[in-house]
Structure 1
Amino acid sequence: MRATAFSVGQPAPWFHCRTQLRERFCFDTIAGRYVVLCFFGSAADPAATEILDSIQAHRQRFDDAQVCFFGVSVDPDDETLKRVESSIPGIRFIWDFDRSVSQLYGALQPDGSIRQMTYVLDPALRVLAIVPIETAIENHVPSLVRYLDKLPAPVAPHAATPHAPVLVVPRIFEPSLCKALISYYDERGGEESGFMTEQSGKTVHIKDHSHKKRRDCVIEDEVLAKACSLRITNRLLPELQKAFQFNATRMERYLVSCYNSEEGGYFRPHRDNTTKGTAHRRFAVSLFLNSGEYDGGFLRFPEYGKGLYSAPTGGAVVFSCSLLHEATSVTQGRRYMFLPFLYDEAASAIREENLSFIQR
């Protein structure tokens, strides 16, 4: 399954439209299950007919509990001639006769025709895959179903337990970028990392092994830094805005960090904005570059219990810099991380005002 119009991890655009069942349907209300969004153009098209017949042949796969299917038609005759029929649960059709939804999703070509394609969205309505409907039409839906079968099942309903107010977002960096960042670190090595504290009214950088053991490598390669920034902007910031209504416009630090079990890598409980030199920081991002390749190395938020937090490779845990948090010890292997801070224009003004308090 390959991405084309959008990249994997980007949020799918929200929209309002008319469907076969509703005069005004809010697309964002279907979150919570996997979504198959198929831009087939017209049901009179032979390729579209084969696709829709195959969807019906796999009818049991679309149950609304785990997966739902939305077909997008741009042909008014599909409605008037009743060429397609919604089937609840799981199968619905969108009337996109003005082609606005098709344009939003990159399916509208310059000549006005429809580039037939199928999107797969995750339960948060982020792009998992985009599959063009091209040759071997008969394989399109079977391969789609095989892909759906491999996806993790949504967690069953359960009683919520106390947890920290953090956001866990997968698929921010793709595996190839994670590997490139790790290689960048390994080629250059890391310098011992300290932390900021207040001394005599100044923000100073100190090192204390009883509090922190970590090595950092600043990313000086502009191409690599830009790749990181672009993905944070396109894939993470929309989720931050949705969850916390915070519009991050600036990012501090481009660095790869390594917690090495040979040194007992850890960072004891701390907050990230307690000095004048760090007061501008609003959200911290812990982006995991090699999950599963080490033991230990969790995030913990003591104010909210003993829960341990992590993310898949390329995924991030995002949280307010005001929260007390720690990186637990890595007991085996090396834990590589990308660790920026996010802030906005108002916080940027605070940063400028406080520059004089930072000891150089």
Structure 2
Amino acid sequence: MRPVLVGDPAPLFVQHCTTQWGRYSFDMAAGRYSILLFVPSLHNPAARRAYDHVRRGMDTLDTAQSHVFIVSADEKDHAAHTPDADMPGLLFLWDADLLVHNLYGVAAKSCCWVVVDPMMRIALVAENGPQAARRVLEWTRAQPPHQDGPIPALLLPNVLEPEFCNALIHYYQTQETHLSAVLTQGRDGSPLNVTDLSFKRRRDCTLRDAYLVQQLQARIIRRVVPEITKSFQCTVTQMDRMIISCYDGADRGCFGPHRDNTVAGAAHRLFAISINLNDAFEGGDLIFPEFSARGFRPPAGGAVIFSCALLHAVRPVTAGRRYACLPFAFNAESLARARQAHAQAADTK
């Protein structure tokens, strides 16, 4: 068991937690400083003192910039937990199987602190002690806002002509649409579509017109694929999810922070291609919380292209409607890797 060091990528995990879903995927913590307090048990006197200090200090933390995880190795803590112990910016991870402890190289009987930065890298490691809680919270509060890092994404104008954008919008407006679900996975690992309006408010229309599909693909192959090859040294040869989407200001259309390749049904995807079809709306910027608070909004017909592994979100549309075309690009190699990983996961069940 090797302890993490400052500068290391933070190990990612999914563990039982005090969220409404009962579990937490730690890769969703990007974009804020994450304070992890590892405790053998909340009944341990030293651990309890550290936890009490955290609770008293929570009102001094900006929860838009940082949050706290209490990582307990004692299964009795889970049973004893009551909802009134919860507060904004504070979550409990129930780590009785020591999954998180082992990933971070923390012994089950130890009490220590780890701080992960917004890019999911280890920023601070500290043993617990009389002043540790105060020092960790002060260090975190002193960090500058995370907002101006460079983004590893392409911003391309003129991917689609105005006439073709209008044709796609007209198609959306004359076809049946549906609420866009969140692609996640069930406990058995199988793909699962879930509607969660607190996280995603968007309507989609599947593009079934063969001529429009062919014309859209031709423009992406001609104008986007060469730029992906040049910038990322990766050649994509296939596309999926040919849809037209609408984020409506009437219901503050938005999409919370997510990645596009984390579940089995999407693991083959390499790049997301987000093409705006209009610009008569307010809000709706695309953001990448791991890197910056800066929003991206290409002009009508322009696109943002980025790795499906990047955490991203769409800010609420506050007026008008944002129409967009949102395909994914991949290749034979990524498809084969995803199938192999899926087969290996099935063999371990």
Amino acid aligned to 1:305: S
Q: Which amino acid aligns with 1:331?
A: T
1:290 corresponds to which of 278, 282, 286: 278
Q: 279, 302, 313: which is aligned to 2:300?
A: 313
Structure 2 residue 215 is the aligned partner of structure 1 residue 227: yes
Find the aligned partners of 1:262 and 1:164 in 2 and give their Cα distance: 30
Matched, 1:202 2:190: yes
Query: In structure 2, what is the equivalent of residue 169 of structure 1?
Result: 156
Structure 1 residue 189, shift from structure 2 partner:
3.9
Aligned to 2:267: 279
Superposition pairs of residues 180-191 of structure 1, within 5 angstroms: 180-191=167-178
1:30-179 aligned at under 5 Å gives the runs 162-179=149-166
8 A contact 1:277–1:354 mirrored in 2: no
| Shift, 1:177, TM fit | 0.5
**1:351 Cα offset (Å):** 4.6
Distance 1:243 1:217 in 2: 31
What is the one-letter code of the residue matched to 2:191? T
Shift of 1:229: 0.2
Q: Which residue of 2 aligns with 1:243?
A: 231
Partner of 1:254: 242
1:179 alignment partner AA: N
1:309–1:344 Cα change, 3 Å: same
1:354 Cα deviation after fit: 6.9
Separation in 2 of the partners of 1:355 and 1:189?
33
1:333 aligns with 2:320: yes
Equivalences, count? 197
Return closer, same or farther for 1:205/1:355 CA change in 2, 3 Å cut-off: farther
Q: Which residue of 1 aligns with 2:254?
A: 266
Which residue type is aligned with residue 214 of structure 1? R
AA partner of residue 341 (structure 1): F
Give the alignment's Cα RMSD to 1 decimal: 1.7
Code of the aligned partner of 1:207: T
Letter of the 1:245 partner, please give it.
Q
Residue 239 of structure 1 and its aligned partner are, at CA, apart by 0.8
Q: Spell out, residue by residue over 1:57-99, the C-alpha distance to the aligned partner (whole angstroms, 9 max, x if none).
A: xxxxxxxxxxxxxxxxxxxxxxxxxxxxxxxxxxxxxxxxxxx
CA distance in 2, matches of 1:351, 1:206: 22
Q: Distance in 1 between matches of 2:211 and 2:283?
A: 32
Shift of 1:185: 0.2
Name segments (4+ residues, structure 1) moved above 6 Å.
Answer: 354-358
Q: Matches of 1:227 and 1:355 in 2, distance apart? A: 33
Task: Pick closer, same or farther for the CA change 1:353–1:217 going to 2, 3 Å.
Answer: farther
CA deviation profile, 1:78-123 (whole Å, cap 9, x unmatched): xxxxxxxxxxxxxxxxxxxxxxxxxxxxxxxxxxxxxxxxxxxxxx
For 1:333, the aligned partner's letter is G
Q: Pick from 161, 175, 179: which aligns with 1:192?
A: 179
d(CA) in 1 for partners of 2:304, 2:153? 7
The alpha carbon displacement at 1:349 in A equals 1.8
Separation (CA, whole Å) in 2 of partners of 1:336 and 1:354: 35
Question: 1:214: Cα distance to partner?
Answer: 0.3
What is the SS of the residue equivalent to 1:277? helix
Structure 2: runs of 5 or more not aligned: 1-147
Q: CA deviation at 1:238?
A: 0.6
Distance between the aligned counterparts of 1:194 and 1:246, measured in 2?
A: 29
Measured after TM superposition, the shift of residue 350 of structure 1 is 3.6
Question: Could you tell me the TM-score, scaled by structure 2's length?
Answer: 0.54
- TM-superposed CA distance for 1:353, in Å, is 4.9
C-alpha change, 1:329 and 1:335, in structure 2 (3 Å) is same
1:65 match: none
Structure 1 residue ranges without an equivalent (≥5):
1-160
User: How far apart are 1:224 and its partner, in Å?
Assistant: 0.4
Q: Is the 8 A contact 1:219 1:256 kept in 2?
A: yes
Q: Distance in 2 between matches of 1:171 and 1:239?
A: 13
TM-score, normalisation: structure 1: 0.53
How far apart, CA to CA, are the structure 2 residues paired with 1:253 and 1:353? 22
Q: Show the counterpart of 2:119.
A: none
| Mapped pair 1:212 → 2:217 | no
Using the alignment, how far apart are the partners of 1:209 and 1:279 within structure 2?
A: 24
